[in-house]
Amino acid sequence: MPLHLIKLCVGVESPDDLETRQASQIARAESATGRRFAWHVTRRTPRRAGEVLDGGSLYWVMNGAIRARQPLLDIRETTDSDGKPACVLELAPGVTPVQARPHRPFQGWRYIQPDQAPPDSAGDGDDESALPDAILAEMAERGFR
């Protein structure tokens, strides 16, 4: 089973918002490389990149809950504008909503095991992913999730 990464998605309200924000990034990548992908730059390169690239995804935490994921296409080492080491996470275009699961804030990225990753949202209205964050948090606090 593939290993996944999890990261905070600061300032993004929803999976649709993330997809909209990444649209110009994907267009730039396609123009420059002929390949369609979004990317995220982080300071640390995962040491277990091989396991992550074997079918893993980047799970996004939005407003205190894991709400979306994107398959990881590549992980590349680079340098930032100050010449310091950095890492580029290449992501498949398109954002897949997942069943919302509360998650506390953290810095950087973390590994997430397949059994800890929330399942994709069915999109049939039968899951809780469309509920407001305050209701999801209250449900978790009361033990309903």
Please say if the pLDDT value at position 10 is more than 80: yes
Distance CA 121, CA 62 (A): 15
Q: What is the pLDDT of residues 59-99, one digit of tens each?
A: 999 999 999 999 999 999 999 889 999 999 999 999 999 99
Please say if the pLDDT value at position 130 is more than 70: no
Percent of the chain with pLDDT over 70: 89
User: Mean pLDDT across the chain, nearest whole number?
Assistant: 89
Structurally, the chain folds into a number of domains equal to 1
Write out the residue range of the structural domain in which residue 36 sits: 4-141
| C-alpha angle 43-116-143 in degrees, rounded to nearest 5 | 120
Q: What is the pLDDT of residues 47-65, one digit of tens each?
A: 999 999 999 999 999 999 9
Phi and psi angles of residue 104, each rounded to the nearest 5 degrees, phi first: -75, 155
DSSP assignment string, 6-24 = EEE-TT--SHHHHHHHHHH
Which of 129 and 101 is assigned the larger pLDDT? 101
For the whole model, what pTM was predicted? 0.83
pLDDT at 144: 62
| CA distances from residue 1 to 5, 73, 119 in whole angstroms, order as listed | 13, 16, 14
Task: Give the DSSP H or E segment for 78.
Answer: strand 65-79
Distance CA 83, CA 113 (A): 32
Which residues pair with residue 58 across a beta bridge?
5, 70
pLDDT at 124: 53
Average pLDDT over residues 122-133: 61
